[in-house]
Amino acid sequence: MTTKLTTEALLDDLSPAERERAERVESVLPALRDAAVEADRAGEFPLEHVATLSEAGLLGLVVPEEYGGLGGGLRDLVGACFAMGTACPSTALSFFFHNSSASRGLLPLEAADAGLFDSSEEPVVRAFAERLLRRMGEGRWMANFASESAKSAGSAITISTSAERGKDDDGNPGWVLDGVKSFGCATGVADDYLVAAKLPGGDTAEHLAVFMVDRRAPGVGERARWDALGMRASATHGITLDGVFVPEQDALALPGAFVKMMQVSRGSFVGSQIAGTACYLGAAQAVYDFAIGHLTTTTFSDTGAPIGTAPFQQELIGDMTMHLGTARHWLLAQLELETSEPPKLPKQEVVSNWRVAKGTIAEEGFAVARCALKACGTSNTGFSGTVSRMYRDLTMGLVQAFPAERGRLEAASSIVSGRESTQFGGVARPGS
Amino acid sequence: MTTKLTTEALLDDLSPAERERAERVESVLPALRDAAVEADRAGEFPLEHVATLSEAGLLGLVVPEEYGGLGGGLRDLVGACFAMGTACPSTALSFFFHNSSASRGLLPLEAADAGLFDSSEEPVVRAFAERLLRRMGEGRWMANFASESAKSAGSAITISTSAERGKDDDGNPGWVLDGVKSFGCATGVADDYLVAAKLPGGDTAEHLAVFMVDRRAPGVGERARWDALGMRASATHGITLDGVFVPEQDALALPGAFVKMMQVSRGSFVGSQIAGTACYLGAAQAVYDFAIGHLTTTTFSDTGAPIGTAPFQQELIGDMTMHLGTARHWLLAQLELETSEPPKLPKQEVVSNWRVAKGTIAEEGFAVARCALKACGTSNTGFSGTVSRMYRDLTMGLVQAFPAERGRLEAASSIVSGRESTQFGGVARPGS
Amino acid sequence: MTTKLTTEALLDDLSPAERERAERVESVLPALRDAAVEADRAGEFPLEHVATLSEAGLLGLVVPEEYGGLGGGLRDLVGACFAMGTACPSTALSFFFHNSSASRGLLPLEAADAGLFDSSEEPVVRAFAERLLRRMGEGRWMANFASESAKSAGSAITISTSAERGKDDDGNPGWVLDGVKSFGCATGVADDYLVAAKLPGGDTAEHLAVFMVDRRAPGVGERARWDALGMRASATHGITLDGVFVPEQDALALPGAFVKMMQVSRGSFVGSQIAGTACYLGAAQAVYDFAIGHLTTTTFSDTGAPIGTAPFQQELIGDMTMHLGTARHWLLAQLELETSEPPKLPKQEVVSNWRVAKGTIAEEGFAVARCALKACGTSNTGFSGTVSRMYRDLTMGLVQAFPAERGRLEAASSIVSGRESTQFGGVARPGS
Amino acid sequence: MTTKLTTEALLDDLSPAERERAERVESVLPALRDAAVEADRAGEFPLEHVATLSEAGLLGLVVPEEYGGLGGGLRDLVGACFAMGTACPSTALSFFFHNSSASRGLLPLEAADAGLFDSSEEPVVRAFAERLLRRMGEGRWMANFASESAKSAGSAITISTSAERGKDDDGNPGWVLDGVKSFGCATGVADDYLVAAKLPGGDTAEHLAVFMVDRRAPGVGERARWDALGMRASATHGITLDGVFVPEQDALALPGAFVKMMQVSRGSFVGSQIAGTACYLGAAQAVYDFAIGHLTTTTFSDTGAPIGTAPFQQELIGDMTMHLGTARHWLLAQLELETSEPPKLPKQEVVSNWRVAKGTIAEEGFAVARCALKACGTSNTGFSGTVSRMYRDLTMGLVQAFPAERGRLEAASSIVSGRESTQFGGVARPGS
């Protein structure tokens, strides 16, 4: 008989191959759990986790086997993020962003397979994609930097980091990057940084390019020390790029390539954001389990009954149970939408659903922690206690990426007008 | 190519047999929709619906084919209630209660198959069960009366209706019933009333018995005219039983039979309550669809843009979308829990989940209507308009059976103490 | 010793003069209460209330004594609407709209006192204002029609009803009105209708004029029968104006007069809208009192304890108490803001506060009814029961005037940009 | 012309004497503000604040002038806590608890004035009360320790700390205390600790006694380092008492004295808890002001408009404004209830209102911070930023003393049964 894995608390229908990969995830949880409290307090990503995850093969979790990976898919990633989220949400989130990098290899290959590139472009695209996937398959950590600090009224993300043609000291051709990436997990931890920048000559998604930057390359710096309310061990410092040289082969700098990648994505543009949300659900599950344990084993001094039998505790337990269920159901429904074959809904509706799902999962997951905090009392408000730590991590879910209010409004706009919100400046308005 | 059925807006994976049954449901929707407004205004169940549903075979929807039914299961019933709920929630709810009667045939058979009855009891039990199922399979309407008006602090439902041994005018042996059933759909509409009463000699679930009462039997009366805020066309008048004679063969009056039926039930004691909730979800879907239509096709006189583009409308559309999704996801998750083979959770957890699910679906479905009402404005507050009518029907979902607050507290109690709440006086305290 | 008046459940610091007026209000409550159920069911304003209120002097409640009124102010009106709201919210709301007409007399006088009119205009303005106030002081009902059905993206209210110069059959000069007023209480009940229309030559607030229209004048019709979810006895049918002649002296058709009236108003443009909200608070108070009474006097059959001691009832009672308190506190705080001398805040902030207050009072008052409904159970869902009736009336508060979401967004806009939202097309953009 | 004081953002009707005291409060705010960030990070109460507050006379804020104090009342204390809360909620909360100690002097004097003590008791009581008040009037910090860690199902607070007759090394008579006080601000900071303990011979409120313990007395220890999620600089470590000797004159150990004190209290038993809540309201005001400032001065890079004009920001600003208003209104209404002359409600209702008010103010104040966090984005989630810091402090308000759910349930119980919840074991059941 098999033991129930943490992943199976979320996904109760793992295939044998999925279960084998989930066992690898399970094997690293003790290490994550042991380091979590101190990592949170210090606000430092535990560097030893890179080796732990790499050696378990997990850095290649969603990389096809032909490139050295484990061949997992979105379900594996969601399950892994959930399981790691129960132990150390910061590590889970960093791990998620690493895996999201794989889309920059998988989507180009898909677009190539779909014949979206011409014969001169295709080999370039495939070479970059395979190079990226192989690095991940080898067990290298590939951090993913998208957001920048400037906000624009017209689009959700604005890219001002620039790429110019240049050469290295030996005269090899390549690109020179300049700019600042405001937030990104595993800064100073990952082996490589995946960076989006705009090519000369334009300001639309057509001109976006993707680069793999060596963490140790000259000109790469840390933007600002990440010292946040929660997700403190995720090393989300962000980076500065000051004339950083990137060799030709580490760039996907073909105009239009980015747009073609987006055309073949299944859900939202990176196609795996739901796994990021699973980290928060894992945290919510952990805080729920802790609270139920605390409330059923701590007893009143006069009656001996569990303190969880007090009326206000019962109210909070009922609420907490509802919130956890709502978060779970939304996540599982979205996962089904993004993985079912054939697709159940057109991509635009999948994305619109995602916008509502993301915020709802974050809000409801947070609500679990808020109820737990109230139910477990002042003695569980200690900075490093499970309740307080998960509460702080779940707080970040209310803010990061986009708040629930924003997601709902974007979905409403999409429902009324049939237009999907613009993720990148200009993207949604081709020809305008 | 097949047209998408209303049922498929909820269940997108119908088997061919399920789809065939869903087509029967689809065929009656126009009749339900046409009669809904006037039925609601008058507060009268449209009597012609009995023939409509009977002729479509739907009164035998969940009755095994060997007894003349369509052989559907819980998924069919949920789908039918949802679809009917989009047209006329009152009819849908009445239809649900009719179908819930089938459990009084199916569960005894299951308990008999499981060997819970001894050799003298088994034939009696099977005879009653088959008789009941055949009536439903023939297309007779079997209303189900459970609740009584007395409230007790110790259990959710108290039965004071009594059954005594008696004879009819011709000296045939049977039972004589006295009591009042406070609420029950299809009073004065159904062919038969299914009634629970207690046998002489005790006051626990062991002494509960089930009777099929002919609507026209002497002594059967209407309790009080149902003239409620919503679900006005459901004829939920309740009945009075004043020395009503029931022939031997129409009674399942074996002490302990009721408890054995409950032992084999899958989810909550009747095993199909989730379908009642699906009626409300159907109403929520209808009001959502109406509101989106109204907000996207009505335009501002100055700009020509849909009024749904106004900021507060966008907020309400986003909220409404979230609420509908939450209601759907909870219903589908509970349905999966109650139908998956093998079962995913122990029965007690399934029931505990149901308690939270019921209230959440009701609250979130109602929230859809509340948002729609605000978004569609004063001109859609007319008594008989779709928004207002569905709003009133959904209001009833907040109250009927049990409010969300009660369900959550019962789940909490179950979680903390491992005890499931007592549905019937004494049941949950065997040996006490 | 004096008995506590219903008004004093809201305002506990009445001056002697206020108390004298509140006693008049108290004297009519039994008549309002007695007629409320049938009026609600029939959807008819009880015509005898006109005489009841007129004879009690209450139609002149806020009219200065020199014009035959009682000389009350905003506090009196709020108290009266609250008290009447506990008995019959429909009558209370109709009474509020009648009183809001007084502002069309009081504000012109104030603007005249402030020297905003030149010497040729002033006598005209004063004559109209005094004529209007005298009618109200004499005990005539003056319904107030503002809203029209066209929606515009640019402003909250658009006026398309037009006034043209014309003569009556005897050649007397006056104005001819054409248009439709979508909603307005006391249609077919009031003696006079106060109507806003635009003068020839422009489309801004500068061109708005005010007319007193005799209910029986040729060309005046009922727009559409008011048959709504709630506030059913308010006769909110709306009117059609088809070439209706209004004599010169019943018109305030001076260009710019409307804008000058708005300059001197204290809070929102009519200066007494908070009293409309007090009707809903009265309804909430009534449903709260009913529910507490029901829950403390109905007892469990087994233990004899009040059913209000059950855990879920306790939760609902606590919630209900909080919601009622929140609604009260917002109303009293806004009343203080609009009546304190000297003013505590600039007018724009008072209006911005009002926008949040209106929605919050409506939402929280409704929440009282929703909790009461759940706590009082299915047996209190009867269409005409106190809980159900007040619930339906309070539902209207979520929609009428503007939903809470809209009010909050308008306040936010005002906070961020310093601009107050445009109530009438063009008003907030003078010179544009 | 006078500048507006921070206190006046809450209380806009200060008397001249109140304003003079509020100016003293204003004078210390810069020192509090300057130290707040580092104190929060380190989790240390800034010891220099003792001198700052003492020298400003504020440690005697609510002590009558005859004992060296400033003669302020509950309004002064609420205003001071609010103002300090905008700068450093931890200091504000510690200051509140210091001031709450004054009730142990004021209430005995009041009970004595009311003739509740006999002639032998009265001088003892007055001597203790005056001694306590004089210490506070002199500028000594008097921390107040009430709660203990054992929870009992029957009462809110259980006292197991014991007082036995004893002598010091010189043979002077007094009391010997043993026990643990779980939480209490200003541990290791205050000059004196006010401690409740039970006298030999009984276990009811009759046997409760009050002691002033010198912080440096042998046997006094720190319970556990306070290192919480929020209110980190409040030194809420709690104390251990291990055979601590207290001289006769520092004890109010008259059986029954405690109960008599409670009889004369105005609101809840300490009579000033609302001021504790004002600390949280101050924090909410600060985070609101910060957020509005941030959202109106930070602009979009493409349009130059404030980021606060984005639709989701507008939604959050509207929500935030509503939440702050609700918290303010509840606090001001409760303050009015507890200070009006003559009292508006019987004491039991004042206490019942307080139970709802406390939770509502805490929840709504927290909601301001949650909205602000979402609106201000990831760049404002830094651990020490205003948003994040106040968010963490406001989180503590959800838990400390009692959660909103508990308060509402206690109020409901009081409403239904007329019994006020038991604060101290046995108190509410005299004679049992």
Choose among C402, C290, D127, C70: nearest CA to B312. Answer: C402
3-state secondary structure of A204: coil
**First CA to last CA distance, chain B:** 61
Q: What residues in A contact D399, CB-CB < 8 Å?
A: 373-374, 377-378, 381
CA of B420 vs chain D CAs: smallest distance (Å): 22
CB contact under 8 A, B333 and A330: no
DSSP string, B222-264: E-S---BSS-GGG----EEEEEEEEEGGGEE--TTHHHHHHHH
More confident residue, A219 or D201: A219
Please check whether residue A196 is in contact with residue A182, taking contact to mean a CB–CB distance below 8 angstroms.
no
* Tens-digit pLDDT profile for residues D306-337: 999 999 999 999 999 999 999 999 999 999 99
Residue A270, both tokens: 């990176």
Please check whether residue B255 is in contact with residue B206, taking contact to mean a CB–CB distance below 8 angstroms.
yes
Q: What CA–CA distance (Å, rounded) separates D387 from B406? A: 37
CB contact under 8 A, A395 and D409: no
CA of B312 vs chain D CAs: smallest distance (Å): 9
CB contact under 8 A, B306 and A416: yes
Q: How many residues does chain C have?
A: 432
Structure confidence at residue C302 as a pLDDT band (50, 70, 90) = confident
Would you give the distance in Å from CA C390 to the centre of its chain? 17
3-state secondary structure of B175: strand
3-state secondary structure of B156: coil
Q: What residues in C contact A314, CB-CB < 8 Å?
A: 311
Of C319, C325, C409, nearest to D318 by CB-CB distance is C409
Q: What CA–CA distance (Å, rounded) separates C396 from C280? A: 9
Q: What CA–CA distance (Å, rounded) separates C242 from C252? A: 20
CB contact under 8 A, A302 and D395: no
What percent of chain C is predicted at pLDDT more than 70?
Answer: 94
3-state secondary structure of D152: coil
Q: Determine the pLDDT at residue A377.
A: 94
Residue A52, both tokens: 């732990």
CB contact under 8 A, B360 and A322: yes
Q: What residues in B contact C409, CB-CB < 8 Å?
A: 311-312, 315
Q: What residues in A contact C314, CB-CB < 8 Å?
A: 311
Q: For residue C355, which amino acid is it?
A: R
DSSP string, C300-355: -TTT--BGGGSHHHHHHHHHHHHHHHHHHHHHHHHHHHHH-SS-SS-HHHHHHHHH
Bridge partners (DSSP) of residue A196 are: A210
Q: Maximum Cα–Cα distance for chain D, whole Å?
A: 81
Residue A282, both tokens: 């894992």
- Chains in contact with A, where contact means 3 or more Cβ–Cβ distances below 8 Å, are B, C, D
Residue C23, both tokens: 């006693």
Of D292, D315, D415, nearest to C321 by CB-CB distance is D415
Query: For chain A, which residues lie within 8 Å of any Cβ of chain B, measuring from their own Cβ?
Result: 12, 292, 295-296, 306, 308-309, 313-315, 317-319, 321-322, 325-326, 328-330, 332-333, 344, 353, 356-357, 359-360, 405, 407-409, 411-413, 415-417
CB contact under 8 A, A382 and D230: no
CB contact under 8 A, C381 and B396: yes
Q: Chain B residue with minimal CA distance to D319?
A: B315
Residue B282, both tokens: 């159907």
* Tens-digit pLDDT profile for residues B323-333: 999 999 999 99
Question: Is pLDDT of B268 > 80?
Answer: no
Beta-strand relationship, B251-252 and B208-214: antiparallel
Tokens 């490093």 found at: A384
CB contact under 8 A, D154 and A311: no
Q: What CA–CA distance (Å, rounded) separates C175 from C197? A: 11
Q: What residues in A contact D315, CB-CB < 8 Å?
A: 405, 409
Q: What residues in A contact B412, CB-CB < 8 Å?
A: 308, 313-315, 317-318, 321
Q: Determine the pLDDT at residue C99.
A: 96
Please check whether residue D373 is in contact with residue A399, taking contact to mean a CB–CB distance below 8 angstroms.
yes
* Tens-digit pLDDT profile for residues B130-174: 999 999 999 999 999 877 777 777 665 578 899 999 999 999 999
Q: What CA–CA distance (Å, rounded) separates A283 from A286? A: 5
Q: Which residues contact B265 (CB under 8 A, 6 or more apart)?
A: B103, B107, B271, B347
* Cβ pairs bridging B and D (under 8 Å): 6
CB contact under 8 A, D321 and C411: yes
CB contact under 8 A, A374 and D398: yes
ipTM summary value: 0.94
Residue A426, both tokens: 């200009």
Query: For chain C, which residues lie within 8 Å of any Cβ of chain A, measuring from their own Cβ?
Result: 311, 314-315
DSSP state of A410: H
Q: What residues in B contact A329, CB-CB < 8 Å?
A: 326, 329-330, 332-333
Q: List strand residue ranges (DSSP E) for A4-124, in order.
A: none
CA of C2 vs chain B CAs: smallest distance (Å): 39
Q: Which residues contact B402 (CB under 8 A, 6 or more apart)?
A: B156, B355, B358, B359, B410, C312
- Chains in contact with B, where contact means 3 or more Cβ–Cβ distances below 8 Å, are A, C, D
CB atoms under 10 Å from CB of D431, counted, come to: 4
Indicate which of D301, D303, D322, D380 best probes the interface with A, i.e. most A CBs within 10 Å of its own CB: D301
Question: Is pLDDT of C399 > 80?
Answer: yes
Q: What residues in B contact A344, CB-CB < 8 Å?
A: 12
* Tens-digit pLDDT profile for residues D367-395: 999 999 999 999 999 999 999 999 999 99
Q: Chain A residue with minimal CA distance to C310?
A: A311
**Helices then strands (H, E): number in chain A?**
12, 8
* Tens-digit pLDDT profile for residues B209-266: 999 999 999 999 999 999 999 999 999 999 999 999 999 999 999 999 988 988 888 7
CB burial string A303-331: b at 16+ within 10 A, e below = eeebbbbbbbbbbbbbbbbbbbbbbbbbb
Q: Which residues contact D119 (CB under 8 A, 6 or more apart)?
A: none
Of D229, D300, D374, nearest to A399 by CB-CB distance is D374
Residue D134: exposed, middle, or buried by beta-carbon count in 10 A (0-12, 13-18, 19+)?
middle
Q: Determine the pLDDT at residue B98.
A: 96
Q: Determine the pLDDT at residue C1.
A: 52
Of D151, D228, D301, nearest to A381 by CB-CB distance is D228
Q: What residues in A contact D388, CB-CB < 8 Å?
A: 228-229
* Tens-digit pLDDT profile for residues B44-87: 999 999 999 999 999 999 999 999 999 999 999 999 999 999 99
CB contact under 8 A, A413 and B296: no
How many CA atoms within 13 Å lie on the side-chain side of C135?
Answer: 24
Indicate which of C312, C384, C390, C414 best probes the interface with B, i.e. most B CBs within 10 Å of its own CB: C312
CB contact under 8 A, C321 and D295: no
Q: Determine the pLDDT at residue D270.
A: 56
Structure confidence at residue C183 as a pLDDT band (50, 70, 90) = confident
Question: Is pLDDT of C337 > 60?
Answer: yes
Structure confidence at residue C264 as a pLDDT band (50, 70, 90) = confident
- Residues D156-174, mean pLDDT to the nearest whole number: 89
Q: What residues in A contact D152, CB-CB < 8 Å?
A: 300-303
Q: Determine the pLDDT at residue A419.
A: 47
CB atoms under 10 Å from CB of D127, counted, come to: 13
* Tens-digit pLDDT profile for residues D103-147: 999 999 999 999 999 999 999 999 999 999 999 999 999 999 877
Structure confidence at residue B430 as a pLDDT band (50, 70, 90) = very low
- Residues D416-424, mean pLDDT to the nearest whole number: 57
Q: What residues in A contact B332, CB-CB < 8 Å?
A: 329, 333
Q: Determine the pLDDT at residue A424.
A: 42
**Helices then strands (H, E): number in chain B?**
12, 8
Q: For residue D128, which amino acid is it?
A: F
Bridge partners (DSSP) of residue B212 are: B194
Of B154, B232, B406, nearest to C312 by CB-CB distance is B406
Q: For residue C425, which amino acid is it?
A: G
- Residues D283-294, mean pLDDT to the nearest whole number: 98
* Cβ pairs bridging A and C (under 8 Å): 6
Q: Which H or E run contains B52?
A: helix B48-55
Bridge partners (DSSP) of residue B306 are: B299
**What are the average pLDDT values for consecutive 10-residue runs of chain A, which has 432 residues?**
89 97 98 98 97 98 98 97 98 97 94 95 96 97 85 71 94 96 92 95 86 97 95 96 97 92 74 91 98 95 92 97 98 95 90 95 98 96 97 97 94 81 36 28
CA of B153 vs chain C CAs: smallest distance (Å): 6
